[in-house]
Amino acid sequence: MTTSAQNLTSRNGQVTQVVAVLPSIEYDLIRAHIVASLVTVVISVLFGITVATKFSFPEFLGGHGWLTWGRLRYNHTQGIFFGWLGNAFLAFFYYVVPRLANRPVWSRKLGWLLFGIWNFAVVLPGWVLVLNGISKPLEWGEFPHVVDVFVILAFILMTFEFVLPFLKAALSDLYVAAWYIIGGIIFTMLAYPVGNIVPELVPGARGAAFSGLWIHDAVGLYVTPFALAIAYYVIPATTRRPIFSHFLSMVGFWLLFFMYPLNGTHHYVYSVIPMSAQKGAIVASAYLGMDVILVVTNLLLSLRGNSGTASKDVPLRFVWFGVVAYLVVSLQGSVQALMPVNRFIHFTDWVIGHSHLAMIGFASFIALGGIAHLWQRIPRTRYNERTMNWSFWLLATGLTLMVADLTIAGLVEAQVWESSAPWIDSIRAVGSYWLVRTLSGLPILAGFLLFWTSLVTGPKLSGATLSVASPVASENKAAFEDVSPVSVIPRSSSWLSYAHVVAFGAGVGFFALSFLVLAIIPGNQLEHEIKQAAPVTMANLTASEQRGRIIYGREGCAYCHTQQIRFLAADVRRFGAPTEAWETKYDYPQLWGTRRIGPDLSREFNLRPCDWQLTHLYNPRLVVQDSVMPPYPWLFDGSPGHPTQEGLDVLAYIQSLGRARQLSGFDGRWLASSVRSETPDMAMSNEPLAGATPPAVPIAMVGGYSLSAPILHPAADPGDLQEEVSRGGALFAANCASCHGSGGGGDGKASASLLPKPANLTAARFSDERLSSVLWNGVAGSAMPPWRQLPTEDLRALIAYIQSVNAPGATPRIQEAAGLGKALFAATCASCHGVTGEGNGPAAGALAPAPTNFHLKKPTEERAWDVLENGVPGTAMPPWRNQLSADERHALLEFVRSLYDPPQENEGQ
């Protein structure tokens, strides 16, 4: 402690000199936390840029699990959350708490212990463990439980270090920044365990209700209060004028703590979580927007008369930018929660832009302003103003570009998702936006580096401390001294001192209310619903599937693939029936996800064969040329055909998704009880359960056999046909070549690991009917998916192109086949291919892929001979070279050719 003489000037003009003891400030701890914050922010931004780069170059650093997208993404957000913002906030607390409490922090030793725990028991081991595959798939809670223990411990220590000084000081007046610091520490300490541990204990939809709370509490009860504490301190300290209204600031404070916890469920609008909880969260979101208008108005009015302030004082400019960003991002958040908007932009990059605006534009800018402000005021440190200025503009430019880019990208994605276009089209549509996003990260990284540089290249000072040299401050010197002493409050009103206690109790009450309203009550409703709806035979995951689920979580799959089909027509049309609560009965923790880069996986059971899934896992671009999904080669022994046990476990888990639903007959019951032939637009229906009906027609995206496959014929006019072939070629290259090869020879990159092999389109002549059927329905039992989500004209163009590469020489044998071939066919082939070769033999119904219909698919002689010799691996067609002699096989071949229909009119063109 040191002594200080202070002149207090009251409003009646009396001047009194007060000799007071000033509490000491732990400058070493401030410096240590600032250095830690800057080290971690640079690392975290590098994680982010790497993650963003992988959208454009999925193979970039893709060979090892430690550098895969999911793990780096976890570390990006957790690094920003704990490493950067946590350290920046702590640095500011050490500076501001002694000033506001008029007491030093609790203990210097405790401070160093806290520093050690925060950085060397939370941030560093958290990063290492996540990279090593030990994590939780919970948004904003990705560090594993062993780290959670230290986070909670750290918050307990923070309570001692920063809250107890206020309690010991027993101040009659507590500045709003102190309220935010105390509130943030206490409420985060309460919310963290609930958000990070409860979802592991409460499954599926019920757990999601808790997860939703934490997703928002992390921002609302940790980031926002501490950032606002900085803003509320830096603005008056720089301008040397009191804030506009402390009353409004307190109204804003309590509304924030009342409303923020109630927002969480707006991340699950249109989900199975009871609509009352969803609507409650939406209303709370609207209230929060009003609260933020109040807070920001108060902060900006505090800058009244200082129009040039931000241009002169860089730290204040950082804070001003952060306050404006806070207004924008909060209003954006309120609007996003509204159902007509949410249905459109949720899961898109719009939300990613929103979160970057919150975490960089709002929180980071204010934290940077806070650091710069106090750096100028701690012993022997000054920043380099020129470099600091550059840092501001680089960060502002990069952020603006990133948010604008992601917002537009989100709208593009939403538009594609609303259509019937294939999912991959949304990836293609935003490819250039993702590249711009990556590039926009570079000025942000440069901005943070320059900020660091500005701190270490400032003027060297030999003196012990500082005097505040802000030009703005000196201009407002008079105002600074115009302070109103507290002593004017009459003693009879001392009851007001207890208002803090009442308000604190109310805050805790509201916090508890949020869990009651948004988690416990909806959870009980969901539990009741699960008990009623879940099939009694619903089996838990097998051991392999459970292991696969853990791997799925650790690799961050849930951050690109939702497992939550919302009660929306667009979702249902694309993915299938909406996700019911009972389907998530065994999901510990829930993996619903809040973002879709890839498609939803809720209905993956029986959708694609194992060889496709394994090839896709090994390298997604082998089967989906424009996919941006990361490769997972560490789940394989060198090739897609050799998965490790972990690879098999992931496969087992993916193949289990939606199994209970399909096997339960649940959709059949619903369909039987509903007369709706089409899925209504459920967006504005009263209640999800009342409005949701699975579509009568199978889903466009996921296939299922449709009896209504049309027969598409290419154009008859040669000119039009040529145009169709040309367009079909482009479509083929984009969608088919990865399996069928660029020339259609069945030798694409994926062919090595697919069984049966992709069809060699040059070795047979396919009829319009056959190609139409395959494109419409896919080929059951093979990796060939349905493509009927493409426009009809595209399918027609594909048929035209495929027929242009078909073998022209597969002509039918005109004369009647010899009796030997016919007899052999009847004896050995007809049980599958049918007596007439239409692929409709008695055994055909049980075979997938189905036996060839020789009237629709006419293999060349060479191909037919090869099949007779070697069979078709991966199908029921066996090799016949050991059972039949060469003459017999020739006779059989001749008979098969006799089954071919005459050429179509345009065949051979």
Footprint of another protein on this chain (CB under 8 A)?
2, 4-6, 8, 20, 22, 99-100, 102, 172-177, 233, 236-237, 240-243, 245-247, 249-251, 254-255, 258-259, 262, 276-277, 279-280, 283-284, 287, 377, 462-468, 480-481, 483-486, 488-490, 493, 496, 517, 521
Nearer to another protein, 464 or 814 (CB): 464
Q: Is the dihedral of CA 354, 355, 356, 360 positive or negative?
A: positive
Written as six digits, the tokens of 376 are: 């100028």
Residue 23 sits at φ, ψ, to 5 deg, of -70, 150
Q: Cβ contacts of residue 792 below 8 Å, gap of 6+? A: 710, 712
Residue closer to another protein by CB (options 101, 358) is: 101
Q: Are 70 and 630 in contact (CB under 8 A)?
A: yes
The span from the CA of 636 to the CA of 646, in Å, is 8
> Cβ of residue 526: shortest distance to another protein, in angstroms?
15
Distance CA(521)–CA(275), nearest Å, equals 12
Sign of the C-alpha dihedral computed for residues 238, 240, 241 and 242 taken in this order = positive
Phi, psi dihedrals of residue 176, rounded to the nearest 5°: -60, -35
Dihedral class, residue 133 (left if φ above 0, else alpha if ψ from -120 to 50, else beta): left
Q: Which residues does 841 contact at the CB level (< 8 Å), separation at least 6?
A: 829, 830, 831, 832, 833, 834, 835, 851
Q: Return the number of the residue (43 or 378) whose C-beta is nearest another protein.
A: 378
DSSP 718: H
- β-strand 15-22 against 764-766: which pairing, if any? unpaired
Using a 10 angstrom Cβ sphere, with 0-12 exposed, 13-18 middle and 19 or more buried, the burial of residue 827 is exposed
Q: How far is the CB of 611 from another protein (least distance, A)?
A: 50
How far apart are CB 371 and another protein at their closest, in Å? Answer: 17
Which two three-digit tokens encode residue 263?
A: 């927002």
Tokens linked to 883: 């059972």
Q: How far is the CB of 107 from another protein (least distance, A)?
A: 21
In the chain, the amino acid numbered 93 is F
Three-state secondary structure call for residue 766: strand
CB 85 to another protein: min, Å: 23
Q: In the complex with another protein, which residue's Cβ is closer, 246 or 312?
A: 246
Taking the complex as a whole, how short is the minimal distance between the CB of residue 492 and another protein, in angstroms? 8
Nearest distance from C-beta of residue 851 to another protein, angstroms? 60
User: Residue 485 or residue 842: which is nearer to another protein going by CB?
Assistant: 485
- Compute the distance between CA of residue 690 and CA of residue 408 in angstroms, rounded to an integer: 34
Q: Tell me whether residue 100 or residue 414 sits nearer to another protein (CB atom).
A: 100
- Phi then psi dihedrals of residue 315, to 5 deg: -60, -40
CA angle 837, 838, 839 (to 5 degrees): 95
> Which C-beta is closer to another protein: that of 242 or that of 680?
242
Please, which residue, 380 or 863, has the CB nearer to another protein? 380
Task: For the CB of residue 3, give the shortest distance to another protein in the complex, in Å.
Answer: 8
Query: Do 284 and 580 meet the contact criterion of CB atoms below 8 Å apart?
Result: no
491: three-class secondary structure by DSSP: helix
- Output 170 or 536, the one with its CB closest to another protein: 170
Distance (Å, whole) CA 878 – CA 848: 14
CB of 548 to another protein, least distance (A): 38
What string of DSSP letters covers 59-79? TTT-SSGGG-HHHHHHHHHHI
Name the residue type at position 676: R
Q: How far is the CB of 275 from another protein (least distance, A)?
A: 10
* Distances in whole angstroms, Cα of residue 666 to Cα of each of 516, 678, 700: 31, 18, 20
Residue 288 or 436 having the CB closest to another protein: 288
CB of 479 to another protein, least distance (A): 9
Shortest separation between residue 387's beta carbon and another protein, angstroms: 24
Smallest separation (angstroms) from another protein to the CB of 377: 7
233 or 666: CB nearest another protein: 233
CA pair distance 676, 573, nearest whole angstrom = 14
- Pairwise CA distance, residues 230 & 638, whole Å: 53
Least separation, in Å, of the C-beta of 546 and another protein? 36
Q: Alpha carbon 701 to chain centroid distance?
A: 21
Alpha carbon 269 to its chain's center: 16
In terms of DSSP H, where are the helices of 219-338? 224-239, 246-259, 275-301, 309-312, 314-337
Is 767 within 8 Å of 744 (Cβ atoms)?
Answer: no
Phi-psi domain of 907 (left: phi exceeds 0; alpha: psi -120 through 50; beta: other): beta
**Token pair belonging to 407:** 């917002």
Q: How far is the CB of 290 from another protein (least distance, A)?
A: 9
Least gap, CB of 283 to another protein (angstroms): 5
Nearer to another protein, 483 or 827 (CB): 483
Closest to another protein by CB, 432 vs 465, is 465
Which among 38, 45, 1, 41 has a CA at the least distance from the CA of 19?
1
Q: How far is the CB of 527 from another protein (least distance, A)?
A: 18
297 or 828, CB closer to another protein? 297
**Quick one: 69 or 258, whose CB is closer to another protein?**
258
The closest of 805, 812, 811, 721 to 759, measured between CA atoms, is 805
Buried b (16+ CB within 10 A) or exposed e, 224-235: bbbbbbbbbbbb
Q: Which is nearer to another protein, 12 or 462 (CB)?
A: 462
Cβ-based nearer residue to another protein, 301 or 730: 301
CB of 203 to another protein, least distance (A): 24
Q: Residue 654's closest CA among 698, 702, 617?
A: 617
Identity of the residue, 235 or 352, whose beta carbon is nearer to another protein in the bound complex = 235
